[in-house]
């Protein structure tokens, strides 16, 4: 199977590239250049690709040419402007990338004879946030207070409309968020910001320590994406799917920061950032019962495991261990991990 990943130079895209390659698949990608020090770069993942196309998904012509060149069997659409704070700073870029970029990918996949299936990645933030403790289910209303959330809700609705309007390849939508793991260098994300500060001996700055999020390791999230893709290819899945941890992993930002500081040790600490900050939801929660029941998917790692794996990856990398070696080792450990006691693997 030959997979095309849009956004393969990003954090999740890099891990997905390696995961699919380790499973024996061919992988190609279209994306912007990676950020300095990004996982794609330090793990030298370019050598694993059949085609490594650099382009902006806002450019419909570039996307169409990439599909023609690559001739993928299946498409994972991850490319996006993924940050809430950046969406306040640059709303036009966010909306153009997340909405029209998705349109360009859907259009190119429709015209490409080779594509047998596609999974479009949106986010847990697509739901109209009512600050409810119970996790949102796939049929709940979409919304979005900030430019990022609304742009991803628009991309989600666009995909739903596209699938119902045109006879293209079978398509599913995956919704997940608050993903952590080794090799993330993105600013304005909790774990990368914490670990940079800890490594430099600074007090880490936290905007909303009381905000609750469903924390999940990147490999649990990507395992959901690949299981969904397999089901789409087999003709057993379409529509929208949540991938998120159980309620025992709905933890405050401050509690995760405390755990990270404890694991890092060496005097690591954080403080709440003073001042007024752009709006961010107080609580986000997903109900992934559908994926557990219909796909047999479950989280291999608790949020504690996820934080530990992230910090151990970062420490080992800073001490000189090869990035790809660290990733492949964690992939192996993940495959062999038993489900946490709080999870019952569906029969």
DSSP 22-71: HTT-EEEEEEPPPPTT-HHHHTTGGGG-S-EEE--TT-HHHHHHHHHHH-
Centroid of chain to Cα 58: 20
Residues 6+ apart with CB under 8 A from 327: 15, 18, 39, 43, 182, 183, 313
CA separation, residue 240 to residues 135, 166, 220, 321 (Å): 15, 17, 18, 39
pLDDT-derived band at 108, boundaries 50, 70, 90: very high
Confidence band for 345, pLDDT divided at 50, 70 and 90: very low
Return the higher-pLDDT residue of 344 and 238: 238
Average pLDDT over the chain, rounded to an integer = 94
Residue with tokens 């752009």: 278
Q: Which residue's structure tokens are 């989600």?
A: 156
Helices (H), 183-288: 190-199, 218-233, 253-264
Residue 340's pLDDT is what?
Answer: 65
How many residues are present in the chain? 347
CATH class of the region 2-179+216-246+280-303: alpha beta
Rounded-to-integer distance, Cα 241 and Cα 287, Å: 10
pLDDT for residue 281: 74
Residue 247 is predicted with a pLDDT of 86
pTM: predicted TM-score of the whole model, two decimal places: 0.95
Q: Percentage of the chain with pLDDT > 90?
A: 86
pLDDT band, residue 133 (cuts 50/70/90) = confident
Whether the pLDDT of residue 329 is over 80: the answer is yes
Identify any residues that bridge with 142 across adjacent strands, giving them in sequence order. 127
Condensed to tens digits (0 to 9), the pLDDT of residues 219-278 reads 999 999 999 999 999 999 999 999 999 888 889 999 999 999 999 998 999 999 887 778
CA–CA gap between residue 133 and residue 138 (Å, rounded): 16
């Amino acid at each position: 199977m030959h997979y095309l990943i849009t956004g393969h130079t990003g954090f999740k895209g890099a891990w997905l590239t390696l995961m699919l390659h380790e499973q024996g698949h061919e992988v190609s990608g279209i994306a912007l250049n990676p950020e300095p020090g990004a996982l794609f770069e330090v793990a030298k993942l370019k050598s694993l690709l059949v085609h490594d196309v650099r382009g902006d998904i806002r450019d419909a012509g570039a996307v169409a040419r990439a599909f023609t060149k690559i001739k993928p069997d299946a498409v994972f659409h991850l490319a996006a402007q993924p940050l809430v704070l950046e969406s306040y700073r640059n709303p036009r870029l966010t909306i153009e990338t997340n909405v029209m970029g998705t349109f360009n990918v859907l259009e190119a996949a429709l015209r490409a004879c080779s594509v047998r299936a596609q999974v479009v990645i949106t986010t847990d933030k697509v739901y109209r946030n009512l600050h409810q403790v119970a996790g949102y289910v796939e049929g709940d209303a979409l919304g979005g207070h900030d430019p990022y959330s609304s742009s991803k809700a628009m991309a989600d609705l666009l995909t739903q409309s596209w699938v119902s309007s045109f006879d293209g390849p079978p398509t599913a939508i995956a919704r997940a968020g608050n993903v952590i793991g080794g090799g993330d260098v993105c600013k304005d994300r909790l774990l990368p910001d914490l670990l940079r500060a800890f490594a430099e001996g600074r007090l880490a700055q936290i905007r909303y320590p009381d905000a609750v999020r469903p924390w999940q390791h990147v490999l649990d999230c990507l395992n959901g994406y690949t299981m969904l893709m397999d089901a789409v290819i087999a003709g057993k899945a379409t529509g929208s799917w949540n991938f998120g941890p159980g309620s025992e992993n709905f933890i405050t930002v401050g509690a995760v920061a405390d755990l990270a500081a404890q694991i890092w040790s060496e005097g690591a600490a954080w403080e709440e950032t003073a001042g007024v900050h752009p709006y961010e939801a107080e609580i986000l929660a997903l109900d992934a019962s559908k994926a557990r029941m219909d796909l047999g998917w479950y989280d291999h790692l608790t949020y504690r495991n996820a934080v530990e794996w992230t910090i151990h990856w970062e420490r080992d990398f800073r001490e000189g261990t090869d990035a790809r070696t660290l990733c492949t080792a964690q992939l192996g450990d993940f495959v062999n991990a038993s489900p946490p006691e709080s999870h019952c693997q569906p029969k």
